[in-house]
């Protein structure tokens, strides 16, 4: 694993009007890592991801991607530079087929050859999407829709994949299956930043994790250390 940070979030502050949703947080992500952002509802996890993807602009602080400032760029430029997000709630196009949804995800890809390779890549990770490629997305199961949302984000060949609660609303076995695929995607060289409420399962595939509490980082560490952290266990892991 490279020692160069691929993402550096420094003193990041975000306001929604008078609400200070992020209070000068610092996060470092190294290339090839899976980094988890954990914490209760409203802690600021989604806000952090949406600031990384450029949908929200920070009121203070900087974000560096491979050493270059990212926080002033438009969302389209951030995507083009290699960061893709699979948003909370999936946001797939229900009236379109699986294949059409994936094609939309590849909007920065101009080469037909690369487009074809990317379809193959996504179908390799999620074989069920190939089986259902002509099916309208609204008829997919919840798990399949989540796979489609992740697959769509992969269609742009991202260096960094941002995942917002991929396990939301899914049965435990499916959560395990999806997190294992996320792990494989990371092993293939895509850096992953994953927001999850499902801390125990996520820590199994993460390298490093940050715990957010009302807009601040209350704890951070190697995933295997946090897994055995009793205060975290009580609050988030459901093991006490
Ligand atoms: P969840 O798991 O519920 O999505 P979260 O950790 O992702 O929680 P955020 O959605 O980032 O938390 O919210 C952080 C804070 O910012 C919360 O207090 C929330 O109410 C507030 N907030 C989020 N989005 C907005 C918005 N569009 N306008 C005003 N306040 C917002």
- pLDDT at position 210 over 80: yes
Domains of the chain listed by start with CATH number: 33-56+85-236 (3.40.50.300)
pLDDT in tens, 99-120: 999 999 898 888 999 999 999 9
pLDDT in tens, 9-22: 999 999 999 999 99
Dist. CA 90 → ligand 1 center (Å): 17
CB of 42 sitting under 6 A from ligand 1: yes
pLDDT in tens, 47-71: 999 999 999 999 999 999 999 999 9
For residue 215, the ligand 1 atom closest to its alpha carbon is: 14
CB of 167 sitting under 6 A from ligand 1: no
- pLDDT at position 234 over 90: no
CB of 39 sitting under 6 A from ligand 1: yes
Task: Enter the ipTM.
Answer: 0.92
CB of 87 sitting under 6 A from ligand 1: no
Q: Where are the alpha helices (DSSP H) in the chain?
A: 45-52, 75-81, 98-105, 112-125, 127-131, 142-154, 172-187, 199-205, 223-227, 230-232
| pTM reported for the whole predicted model | 0.93
CB of 22 sitting under 6 A from ligand 1: no
């Amino acid at each position: 694993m490279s020692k160069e940070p691929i993402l550096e979030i420094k003193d990041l502050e975000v306001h929604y009007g008078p609400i200070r949703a992020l209070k000068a947080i610092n996060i470092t992500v190294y290339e090839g890592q899976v980094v988890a952002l954990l914490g209760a509802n409203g802690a600021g996890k989604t806000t952090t991801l949406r600031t990384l993807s450029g949908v929200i602009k920070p009121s203070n602080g900087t974000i560096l991607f491979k050493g270059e400032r990212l926080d002033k760029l438009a969302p389209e430029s951030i995507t083009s530079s290699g960061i893709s997000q699979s948003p909370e709630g999936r946001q797939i196009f229900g009236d379109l087929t699986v294949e059409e949804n994936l094609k939309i995800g590849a909007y920065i890809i101009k080469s037909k050859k690369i487009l074809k390779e990317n379809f193959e890549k996504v179908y390799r990770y999620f074989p069920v999407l190939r089986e259902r490629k002509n099916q309208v997305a609204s008829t997919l199961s919840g798990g399949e829709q989540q796979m489609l949302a992740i697959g769509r984000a992969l269609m742009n060949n991202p260096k960094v994949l941002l995942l917002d609660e991929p396990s939301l609303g899914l049965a435990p076995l499916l959560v395990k299956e999806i997190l294992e695929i996320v792990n494989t995607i990371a092993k293939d060289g895509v850096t992953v930043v994953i927001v999850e409420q499902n801390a125990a399962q996520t820590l199994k595939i993460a390298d490093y994790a940050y715990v957010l509490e009302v807009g601040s980082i209350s704890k951070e560490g190697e995933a295997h250390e946090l897994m055995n952290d009793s205060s975290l266990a009580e609050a988030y892991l459901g093991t006490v």
